[in-house]
Amino acid sequence: MPGFELFGEQERKEVNEVLETGILMRYGFDGARKGRWKAKELEQEICSQLSVNHAQLVSSGTAALTTALAVLGIGAGDEVIMPTFTFVASFEAVLSVGAVPVLVDVDETLTLNPEAVRAAITPATKCVMPVHMCGAPADLDALKAICEQHSLLLLEDACQSLGAKYKGKYVGTIGDAGAYSFDFVKTVTCGEGGAVVTNDAQTYTALDAYSDHGHDHKGVDRGADLHPFLGYNFRISELHAAVGLAQMRRLNEFLSLQKKNHAIVKEILSTIPQISFRKIPDESGDSCGSVSWFLPSEEKAKALVTKLKAENILAGNFYWYDNNWHYIRNWHHLKNLSTYNKLNPEQIDALERLSSRDFSASDTIMSRCITTNISLTWTEEQAKEKADKLKAAIESVF
C-alpha cells in the first residue's frame, strides 16, 4: 500500500474518458456522457471483486460509515461499541448521526477484544463496529456470536483493510454492512472516496437514496425523482470514480506485491527473539499492507522510536501510542468535547466519562506496538535492505 504508488496509464485512461465528455457528476446528463458511467462501473467492479451483492459509492470512508449507520437505523441515544485503536473518522461518524461512541479495549489482534465488547453492552447498545486495522481482520466469529446473542447490528469498518479476508470472505462483506475508504493512502485510491457494501437489497436501496439527498433514482428525469426519506449529499464524482475503477481492477496485483514484500520483511524481523507479532484471527486473510509487532516494554519501544528518528528511518514505521489520529490517548478533542456543533445529552454524558475510563489494557498493548508499512514499489533487494536496517536498529536497543 498505497495504490497511488503505482498510478499510471490505466488510471489516466479512465480519467481522460470522463474529461472527454465533461460530465463530472455521477448522475444525470445521460446523452452528453456518451455511455460512460464510471461510478456505476466501479460499484459493479467492487461487487464482482469482493463477491458482495451491492455496493454504494460515496465521497469518503467517513461518509460511508455515516451513511451505513444512518441507514441501519442508528441515531440519537443509541450506543455503538468501537475500539480504542482506530482512525478518528470512526467516532466522528457515530457522533454525526446523534449516536454515542462506546470505546472499549483492543487485544493483541489490534482490534476489538470480544470480552471487552461483551462487558460494555447495555440496554442502549444498538451496534458493534469492529475496525479491521492495519490490513487484517478482527475476530468476526466471536463478534458475530455476541451480536446474534444480543440482537445487535454488526457494522464492519474495513476502511483500512480492503482485500483482507476472514475465513474465505472479504472483510466488510460479513456483517450487516461494511465501509471502505478509497482516500489517497489506501490500497485502492480514488483520491477521495468510499463505499458501503451489503448483501441486503433493502439496505442497499436506502444507501443509494440517503447518499444523494434522498433521491429514489427510479425515473429517467433526475429532477422528477421522489424523496421518500431525508438524505444528504455524500456523492462521489465521476473523476474520483474513474481513478478508483482502474485501481480496483488492479487490486489483486497490489495484494500480490504486498504479500511478497511483507513476507520478506516479516522473515527478517522474525529472527529477532525479543519481539513478537500481532495476533491475526485468520493469518491467511491478512492483506499484508503492513507488519505490526511488539517490543517487550514501552521503554524499549520509545527507545527504538528515538533511534529510528536519529537514523532517519522512522518514515513508514508508526508508533501508535503517541499518534494524534489513531489512538484514544491523544484524542483530547473528543474527551474535552471540543466541537463546533452542540452534542445531545447522551453524547455529552458518555464523552465526559471518557477521561476517567481505564484503558490500561489497551495502553499495555499499544505502548509496545510498532507498525511497518509495506510499499508496492520495493524490489526484493529494497525490501531486504529496509528490513535489515530496521532489524539493526531494534537490536541496538537491547
pLDDT in tens, 254-281: 999 999 999 999 999 999 999 999 999 9
Predicted local confidence at residue 1, as pLDDT: 79
DSSP 8-state class, residue 329: G
The structural domains of the chain, with segments of one domain joined by +, span 3-252, 254-396
Residue 220 reports pLDDT greater than 90? no
Query: How many residues appear in the chain?
Result: 398
Percent of the chain beyond pLDDT 70? 100
Question: What's the angle, vertex CA 363, arms to CA 289 and CA 124, rounded to 5?
Answer: 90
Cell of 164: 483482507
Predicted local confidence at residue 38, as pLDDT: 98
The CATH number of 3-252, from 3.40.50.300, 2.40.30.20, 1.10.3720.10, 3.40.640.10, is 3.40.640.10
Lowest mean pLDDT among 65-74, 143-152, 216-225: 216-225
Q: Are the C-beta atoms of residues 209 and 256 closer than 8 Å to each other?
A: no
Whole-prediction pTM:
0.97
Give the pLDDT band (50/70/90) at residue 219. confident
Predicted local confidence at residue 354, as pLDDT: 94
Residue 90 reports pLDDT greater than 90? yes
pLDDT in tens, 2-60: 899 999 999 999 999 999 999 999 999 999 999 999 999 999 999 999 999 999 999 99
Q: What is the mean pLDDT of residues 242-251?
A: 98
Instruction: State the fold for domain 254-396.
Output: Aspartate Aminotransferase, domain 1 (3.90.1150)
Catalytic residue numbers, as ranges: 186
Query: Rounded to an integer, what distance in angstroms lies between the CA atom of residue 133 and that of residue 155?
Result: 14
Q: What residues contact residue 99 under an 8 Å CB cut-off, 6+ apart?
A: 69, 74, 75, 76, 77, 78, 79, 80, 126, 127, 347
Query: Rounded to an integer, what distance in angstroms lies between the CA atom of residue 244 and that of residue 189?
Result: 6
Predicted local confidence at residue 145, as pLDDT: 98
* 3 state SS of 265: helix
Predicted local confidence at residue 187, as pLDDT: 96
Cell of 119: 462487558
- Whole-angstrom CA distances from 286 to 128, 293, 343 are 22, 14, 38
Lowest mean pLDDT among 97-111, 160-174, 217-231, 283-297: 217-231
| Closest of 190, 182, 291 to residue 237, by C-alpha | 190
Predicted local confidence at residue 206, as pLDDT: 98
Predicted local confidence at residue 257, as pLDDT: 98
pLDDT in tens, 46-82: 999 999 999 999 999 999 999 999 999 999 999 999 9
